[in-house]
Structure 1
Amino acid sequence: MSTEHSATLHSAATLSAQAVSDLRPALERRLDPQIRKLAVGVWTAELIGDELANISYGGRPVLRAIKAVVRDHEWRTFAPSVRDLAELKDDDGVSLRIHVDYAAPGSADGAGAEAGAVAFEAMLMLRITPATVEVSFSGRAKTAFRRNRIGLVVLHPTSEAGRDVSVVSPDGNVTAGAFPTDIRPDLVFTDISSLEWADAGTAFDLGFSGDIFETEDQRNWSDGSFKTYSTPSALPTPVDVAAGDTVTQSVSIEALSIETPDNPLPVGEDQAAFTVGEPVGTVPALALSVDPAGVAPADPAGSGPAATAAAGSGQGAQLPGLNAVLVELYEPREAWPAKLAAAAREADRHGAALDVRIVSPSADGVAEALRGALDGQLSRIVRLGLFHPETQCTDPAALAGLKPSLENAGFSGQLLAGTRSHFTELNRWIAGGGSSPVPPDADALAFSLTPQVHSTEIPHIVETVPVHRSTAANALRLGDGRPVHVGPITLKPRFHAPDQHADGDELQDHSFTAAWTLASLDALTLGGVASVTYFEAGSPRGIAAADGTLNPAGELLQKLAACKGEPVLAATRQPVQRATGQTLVTVYPVQSAAGLQVFLGNLSPREATAALSLPGGSDAATADVTVIGASAGATAAADPADDGALAVTLGPWSTAVVTFGD
């Protein structure tokens, strides 16, 4: 089990500085980062790397985080690393000085800084007193590159939805506003010098300097936050940055309480208790995607090594019950036969249909090209979407022109509209569509998800999970009840810019990804969500290694695909006195024909136990535990209790399924 790495600073106490260096392997450091806990007066916060996180006042969350970001011309984030850290103490509070290097990701066109090289450096000063928290940023470019944004960002927790806020502009004008409840497609606040609000007898003043700031709803990208940032979106981007260019900004939050609030210490939970109850939904249809870039146009038979890579192993494990294999087809159309052949072979291996997403500026000849590529068997396609390559959204006129030609060619599946990109594009597309934004020819809507558009840190990835349900619920609202198809869902963005494909993630084959996938599916088990597509068939962004062996996420999806359409039972969390936050344990009970199956996942670097109160007919004494991802280090064990309940203990980042005998 991992050991928590933390230290506490008090304004009236002395503490030796914690070493910045961490000699653990990089993946372990990412999954279980060092945490420096800070407490001055009734302010508490956590320093995680270069991020000041979980800022609370009197035990109440105030800000999710304050951090500095460097984003290049393709909106990719420079990777920060702390070079050194110094602690400064005085009678009024605590200060930390942090020297941060930012490594460039490189660029698709070869312009800008070399990938992995330190292109920007900054000094962060963190100051906490009994009244205020302040973060200042002073940065300098070490080499030339093109940027879309450099500076401080403030993340507000999604629990602020509905909160009334006064927005103060640089010229002193005050405008009343509120954080939105529905996911908002346009900017929440603009022209910000400070934000002011009150909570439980405390007035807060969040001030900004060094630039003009604005606020957006990051739930559009499945982030668990609202974000206030600099470089207003009305300004042109990208901007050339020369070596030696500097950026200076600061953010401060001041609290004024009528009464001194309590400052309760966080109380963790060794065990979370759940009651398994009545059906609340059904397991959505599950799909996989294949990477069409892996198939060369010169391989029309689709039999070469590129085709094999695109379609997975060809010899790997089957996923009975898999609904479809999704393939995206781009211009030129000469490549379509090979790409469709590879996708069809993968679909045949699982007994699945095809889900085809066309990326083309025109619908002309699409039906004919598909019919030719599939030897006239358009009935194999269960879903088909058309998206413009510039907007990544559906052109209503093109969709209207496509429908009759598809029907004449023998297509009888669902015609999808929406976006092949993030929910934000769907949200903005519908908001800009007038009184009847969704094309009447659309049978269903589609959008994709990825947890790492803005942050790669594990806590931020975990926090995207509940937002998956919010995006799906908002899509159902926007589509006037039309079914919603979510995916592909990938760990990293599939594209930042045209012709730029996703990289693999070191987490792909880790047991973490199975636990995260289970939590995501639990969030997306919502009436109206018709299908969910996860990952790719093959390595490095998929559910299997090059030899076809399933990774933990693949093992999980194999079991869940077989449960398609079966009832999902409620797993109601029982109240625990003085509990803090939401549990990181997912409980997903499925009432299958063979009996009750309870899927459980632990999204924590610590061991966790779920106590299950089972429905009648399920005997805890007959529980059988199958560990998902055991070869990757996952662990689980079950212990029946005298009262008929079942305690399931999951190792860090572990997933399991519990079945019950007669």
Structure 2
Amino acid sequence: MSTEHSATLSAPAVSDRRPALEQRLDPQIRKLAVGVWTAELIGDELANISYGGRPVLRAIKAVVRDHEWRTFAPSVRDVEELKDDDGTSLRIHVDYAAPGSAAPGTTAPGTVPAYEGMLTLRITPATVEVSFSGRAKTAFRRNRIGLVVLHPTSEAGRDVNVVSPDGTVTSGAFPTDIRPDLVFKDISSLEWADAGTAFDLGFSGDVFETEDQRNWSDGSFKTYSTPSALPIPVDVAAEDTVNQSVSIEALSIETPDNPLSESHEPAAFTVGEPSGTVPPLAISVDTVETAAGGFGNAGGGPQLSGLDAVLVELFEPRELWPGKLAAATREADRHGAALDVRVVSESAEGVAEVLSTALGGSLSRVVRLSLFHPGTQCTDPAAFGALKASLDDAGFNGQLLAGTRSHFTELNRWIAGSSNGSPVPQDADALTFSLAPQVHSTEVPHIVETVPVQRLAAANALKLGDGRPVHVGPVTLKPRFHAPDQEAEGDELQDHSFTAAWALASLAALTVDGVASVTYFEAGPPRGITAADGTLNPAGELLQRLAASKADPVLAATPVPSQRPAGKSPLTVYPVQSAAGLQLFVGNLSPREATAHLALPHGAASGAAEVTVIGAASGARAQAAPAEASSPENGVLAVTLGPWATAVVTFRD
């Protein structure tokens, strides 16, 4: 007979008194372990669920999404913990604030939550179970309410049996390439095996299905309720309820080893031969009408020498285009850059003429041009052909791009959904798509996990375009648009050193053959590379250094095998061989100090290192010195970075 002990942690006990941004960057984590199951409770999310040290699920959490796919912000009210002889249980009371009424992860003072839920987590030596009971406190319209399960991207290629509610079993697999349609559907359970352990993931309370969230650069596959075939949105009345549960059961032939503790030894890299070049970099401008009636882009910061282009999007009505182009041209002139013009219009008729007139009778400043339909956000092949003909008559010598101004999702679905072969026009010089890491999750660990998926998305885009070059961007922290009439949002992370470290990791992921340019952020605040006072923020400082290195060789930085679990190093090493000497761009995507030991190429003396800290004015810190038991002659350098810090270590020729 089991005995039970319970303890309730009230709101003051579970609340975090640190500033909201600090909480977001370094959330409180409660580690859970029963038998060989381990997991982490982070806010309302049960994360990093492992069995015998092997990752099984990335996360289980409850979400509330309104009719425009905006997520209600969760806030934990209290946690009750119960322990008995069989395992551990947690009951978590969560309030959900409607979009716009509270900061992410908080309920604003005086705000009445629009939804509330009770999450019950139960872990025993054999199973992990999560139940959710939700209740609407006000009326609203929803697209989805309920539990979602995130599967790690390491599951790509994994064979799975899908059991439907009627008992039918279908064989399938998690895809390796990013899949545009549903991965699995009509799910009551998923079954698979790994290293002698059989897993059974069961669902109740609704019918579930699985999609490939890598389409939006998420580091996961997602199994969720409310099948996509059902009509949405749906009216939710006050007091309406939802009840769902998810359970994962493990059955092993032999008891797995206990989880290994993570090594804290420094990450080690060998800097070797050239493996690519620094892609051309661009920034975008959000040309907004000023009180004086003109258009400004709120830039005005220092020059970015070597910047490839300034990207501007033009929407109807066309009488606004001359002012917007003039503002974009002023920004481009400051940097000595060209123009990348993205037109959003149903028709190509007159586009070339309006652009040419607005630019003084010549399109020579435009290095790239594209046309997207406002309904699909993708290229209309017929309109593309008409635009190509008119541009030829106007003497346009730049590249004509096809694809989407939205996420890779739309590019993937646009090409897969064509019934008459590829919709990519034969005359298209290149493809394009954009990236934003917060379509589904605003938590920093999830933002970090988008980085390797960006490389996969670029590689898939090269396949979809039959080898055509790919121009990636704009890359922004938050989506530039999510639904009709939604304006782009800024992010409190924009001016933080985190964004420089994330942008460096992103560029390293996108430095592959075929990626012809990458556009990051905007010229001015709140989504740009300059702060409110006109100075470069850390991301701007980084892009200034990288833009000046356009087309310079990038050397391979190969991780040295160690006891550290694969893929767990938070460090990015991006070595650039420039005319001035070797530059080691190093970034730390972690709330903890981290050290990298770098074995340098022959002839690079570690004793001659010159360290420039990106974002030093805002508190970022870094240092470099010969590694212990090393010397300047053998070229092993230890670079230590503070939390979320980025540095450039230069060896002058």
Q: Is the 8 Å Cα contact of residues 5 and 82 (structure 2) preserved in structure 1?
A: no
**Identity percentage over the alignment?**
80
In the alignment, what sits opposite 1:253? Answer: 248
Given residue 82 of structure 2, which amino acid in structure 1 is its aligned partner?
L
Alpha-carbon distance in 2 for matches of 1:16, 1:651:
36
In the alignment, what sits opposite 2:597? Answer: 611
Alpha-carbon distance in 1 for matches of 2:148, 2:598:
41
In the alignment, what sits opposite 1:28? Answer: 22
Q: Does 1:330 align with 2:325?
A: no
In the alignment, what sits opposite 1:186? Answer: 181
Structure 1 residue 12: Cα displacement: 11
Q: Does 1:440 align with 2:440?
A: no
1:560-593 Cα offsets, whole Å, 9 max, x none, are 0000011000000101135354311000000001
580 and 473 in structure 1: CA distance in 2 versus 1, 3 angstrom threshold: closer
In the alignment, what sits opposite 2:286? Answer: 291
Structure 1 residue 441: Cα displacement: 1.9
Given residue 246 of structure 1, which amino acid in structure 2 is its aligned partner?
T
Alpha-carbon distance in 2 for matches of 1:290, 1:335:
15
Alpha-carbon distance in 2 for matches of 1:237, 1:270:
50
Given residue 49 of structure 1, which amino acid in structure 2 is its aligned partner?
G
In the alignment, what sits opposite 1:469? Answer: 455
Structure 1 residue 410: Cα displacement: 2.4
Given residue 357 of structure 2, which amino acid in structure 1 is its aligned partner?
G
Q: Does 1:73 align with 2:59?
A: no
116 and 485 in structure 1: CA distance in 2 versus 1, 3 angstrom threshold: farther
Structure 1 residue 501: Cα displacement: 1.8
Matches within 5 A, 1:280-429: 280-292=275-287, 294-295=288-289, 299=293, 302=294, 307-308=295-296, 310=297, 312-314=298-300, 316-429=301-414
Alpha-carbon distance in 2 for matches of 1:522, 1:297:
40
Say which of 101, 113, 124 aligns to 2:119.
Answer: 124
578 and 332 in structure 1: CA distance in 2 versus 1, 3 angstrom threshold: closer
Q: What residue ranges of structure 1 are gaps of 5+ in the alignment?
A: 1-10, 108-112
Alpha-carbon distance in 2 for matches of 1:14, 1:570:
53
Say which of 245, 264, 268 aligns to 2:263.
Answer: 268
Alpha-carbon distance in 1 for matches of 2:83, 2:565:
33
In the alignment, what sits opposite 1:654? Answer: 645
In the alignment, what sits opposite 1:104? Answer: 98
Q: Is the 8 Å Cα contact of residues 510 and 552 (structure 1) preserved in structure 2?
A: yes
Structure 1 residue 16: Cα displacement: 9.4
Alpha-carbon distance in 1 for matches of 2:45, 2:263:
22
Structure 1 residue 21: Cα displacement: 1.1
Structure 1 residue 116: Cα displacement: 6.2
Given residue 439 of structure 2, which amino acid in structure 1 is its aligned partner?
V
Alpha-carbon distance in 2 for matches of 1:358, 1:269:
50
In the alignment, what sits opposite 1:153? Answer: 148
1:106-140 Cα offsets, whole Å, 9 max, x none, are 49xxxxx9996511100000000010000000000
Say which of 64, 81, 87 aligns to 2:58.
Answer: 64
* Larger deviation, residues 260-269 vs 240-249: 260-269
Alpha-carbon distance in 1 for matches of 2:427, 2:203:
47
Given residue 118 of structure 1, which amino acid in structure 2 is its aligned partner?
P
SS of aligned partner of 2:576: strand
Cα-Cα RMSD:
1.8
Alpha-carbon distance in 2 for matches of 1:562, 1:277:
22
Alpha-carbon distance in 2 for matches of 1:43, 1:269:
22
Give the length in aligned residue pairs: 637
Q: TM-score, normalised by structure 1?
A: 0.94
Say which of 467, 480, 489 aligns to 1:481.
Answer: 467
Alpha-carbon distance in 2 for matches of 1:423, 1:12:
50
Q: Is the 8 Å Cα contact of residues 639 and 647 (structure 1) preserved in structure 2?
A: yes
Q: Does 1:430 align with 2:415?
A: yes
Structure 1 residue 661: Cα displacement: 3.2
* Larger deviation, residues 15-24 vs 560-569: 15-24
In the alignment, what sits opposite 2:104? Answer: none
1:53-100 Cα offsets, whole Å, 9 max, x none, are 000001100000000001111111111010000101111110000000
Alpha-carbon distance in 2 for matches of 1:197, 1:144:
40
Matches within 5 A, 1:187-202: 187-202=182-197
Q: TM-score, normalised by structure 2?
A: 0.95
* Larger deviation, residues 500-509 vs 15-24: 15-24
173 and 602 in structure 1: CA distance in 2 versus 1, 3 angstrom threshold: same
In the alignment, what sits opposite 1:559? Answer: 545
Alpha-carbon distance in 1 for matches of 2:281, 2:19:
34
Q: Is the 8 Å Cα contact of residues 4 and 82 (structure 2) preserved in structure 1?
A: no
In the alignment, what sits opposite 1:50? Answer: 44
Given residue 131 of structure 2, which amino acid in structure 1 is its aligned partner?
S
Given residue 263 of structure 2, which amino acid in structure 1 is its aligned partner?
G
Q: Does 1:585 align with 2:571?
A: yes
Structure 1 residue 547: Cα displacement: 3.0
Q: Is the 8 Å Cα contact of residues 269 and 557 (structure 2) preserved in structure 1?
A: yes
Alpha-carbon distance in 1 for matches of 2:451, 2:240:
38
Q: Is the 8 Å Cα contact of residues 119 and 133 (structure 2) preserved in structure 1?
A: yes
Given residue 360 of structure 1, which amino acid in structure 2 is its aligned partner?
S
593 and 568 in structure 1: CA distance in 2 versus 1, 3 angstrom threshold: same
Alpha-carbon distance in 2 for matches of 1:242, 1:354:
50
Structure 1 residue 296: Cα displacement: 5.5
1:364-415 Cα offsets, whole Å, 9 max, x none, are 1111111111111211110011101010000001001100101211211110
Say which of 233, 237, 241 aligns to 2:236.
Answer: 241
Structure 1 residue 267: Cα displacement: 1.5
In the alignment, what sits opposite 2:199? Answer: 204
599 and 74 in structure 1: CA distance in 2 versus 1, 3 angstrom threshold: same
Q: Is the 8 Å Cα contact of residues 97 and 126 (structure 1) preserved in structure 2?
A: yes
In the alignment, what sits opposite 2:612? Answer: 626
Alpha-carbon distance in 1 for matches of 2:325, 2:146:
44
Given residue 102 of structure 1, which amino acid in structure 2 is its aligned partner?
Y
Alpha-carbon distance in 2 for matches of 1:219, 1:212:
22
Given residue 481 of structure 1, which amino acid in structure 2 is its aligned partner?
G
Alpha-carbon distance in 1 for matches of 2:269, 2:9:
41
341 and 116 in structure 1: CA distance in 2 versus 1, 3 angstrom threshold: farther
Q: Does 1:596 align with 2:587?
A: no
Alpha-carbon distance in 2 for matches of 1:84, 1:17:
6
Q: Is the 8 Å Cα contact of residues 577 and 583 (structure 2) preserved in structure 1?
A: yes
In the alignment, what sits opposite 1:8? Answer: none
Q: Is the 8 Å Cα contact of residues 162 and 180 (structure 1) preserved in structure 2?
A: yes
SS of aligned partner of 1:647: strand
SS of aligned partner of 2:250: strand
Structure 1 residue 295: Cα displacement: 2.5
Q: Does 1:166 align with 2:157?
A: no
Alpha-carbon distance in 2 for matches of 1:14, 1:331:
61
Q: What residue ranges of structure 2 are gaps of 5+ in the alignment?
A: 102-106
1:579-612 Cα offsets, whole Å, 9 max, x none, are 3543110000000011100000000000000101
1:515-549 Cα offsets, whole Å, 9 max, x none, are 00000000000000000000000010000023320
Alpha-carbon distance in 2 for matches of 1:485, 1:182:
19
